[in-house]
């Protein structure tokens, strides 16, 4: 089964936030994406609200509940108390925990599962108790996947930034792809499902899907939003779904 596509709407929100105006509409473009076949929506509400705002979450939750009950809501973020409370209030289908500093422009590394085990364990348990699927952001490294499973995680999300960054260097892209593949193999052996995200495009998705044929989900924002400026949101979603295999 091809990987499912979750559309990250943070870049849409960032564009909207340049003006004190309600457009482009995060809700409206999310609706177009879902109508075109996207499996769900992803948000990463940062403390400074430079992308998605806290006020966007109930709007998107209502959109999914009222119009697309089969679709999933994925919330990414660093597990501060404020973030965890927001998640518990919003009740997403999945939470993707990332080790971001609040000042980071974007996520750029995964967890050190062994070194941060004591920090992550109660967080994962809390989210699982709330009935939420937990995915942990992971480096393209086989090490620690057994620890991630022992923490209670359901999935890992492979950080694909180095792979996406090799778009102009086929040899380096091949090396980065194999790193991702080996990490996915280790995650699968540990009993974890595998998501992926960061700088994925229509051009580099097919090779990733071939190397990780049981990839569960890809979360894509920047590249998809950029393509939507050229092709429109609906056609872009269809192109990305096709690229997933």
Report CA 233 to chain centroid distance, whole Å. Answer: 18
Clarify whether 39 is annotated catalytic.
no
Q: How far apart are CA 162 and CA 42, in angstroms?
A: 21
Clarify whether 109 is annotated catalytic.
no
Return all residues near 54 (Cβ < 8 A) that are at least 6 apart: 45, 86
**Catalytic pick among 72, 76, 157, 217:** 76
**Catalytic pick among 51, 157, 176, 198:** 198
**Catalytic pick among 44, 72, 157, 176:** 44
- Count of Cβ atoms closer than 10 Å to residue 20 Cβ: 6
Clarify whether 76 is annotated catalytic.
yes
- What is the 3 state secondary structure string of the chain? CCCEEEEECHHHHHHHCCCCCCCCCHHHHHHHHHHCCCCEEEECCCCCCCCCCCCHHHHHHHHHHHHCCCCEEEEEECCCHHHHHHHHHHCCCEEEECCCCCCCCCCCCCCCCCCCHHHHHHHHHHHHHCCCEEEEEECCCCCCHHHHHHCCCCEEEEECHHHHHCCCCHHHHHHHHHHHHHHHHHHHHHCCEEEEECCCCCCCHHHHHHHCCCCCEEEECHHHHHHHHHHCHHHHHHHHHHHCC
Q: Which residues are catalytic?
A: 44, 76, 198
């Amino acid at each position: 089964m091809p990987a499912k596509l979750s559309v990250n709407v943070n870049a849409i929100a960032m564009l909207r936030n340049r003006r004190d105006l309600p457009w482009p509409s995060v809700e409206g473009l999310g609706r177009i994406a879902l109508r075109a076949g996207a499996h769900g929506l992803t948000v990463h509400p940062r403390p400074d609200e430079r992308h998605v705002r806290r006020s966007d979450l109930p709007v998107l939750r209502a959109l999914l509940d009222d119009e697309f009950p089969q679709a999933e809501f994925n919330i990414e973020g660093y597990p501060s108390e404020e973030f965890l409370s927001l998640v518990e209030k919003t009740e997403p289908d999945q939470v993707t925990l990332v080790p971001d500093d609040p000042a980071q422009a974007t996520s750029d590394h995964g967890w050190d599962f062994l070194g941060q085990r004591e920090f992550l364990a109660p967080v994962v348990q809390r989210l699982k108790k709330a009935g939420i699927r937990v995915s942990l952001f992971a480096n393209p490294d086989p090490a620690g996947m057994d620890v991630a499973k022992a923490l209670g995680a359901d999935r890992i999300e492979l950080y694909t930034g180095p792979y996406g960054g090799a778009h102009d260097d086929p040899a380096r892209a091949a090396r980065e792809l194999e790193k991702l593949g080996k990490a996915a193999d280790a995650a699968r052996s540990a009993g974890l499902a595998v998501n992926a995200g960061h700088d994925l495009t229509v051009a580099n998705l097919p090779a990733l899907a071939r190397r990780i044929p049981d990839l569960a989900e890809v979360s894509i924002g920047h590249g998809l939003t950029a393509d939507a400026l050229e092709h429109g949101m609906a056609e872009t979603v269809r192109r990305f779904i096709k690229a997933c295999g």
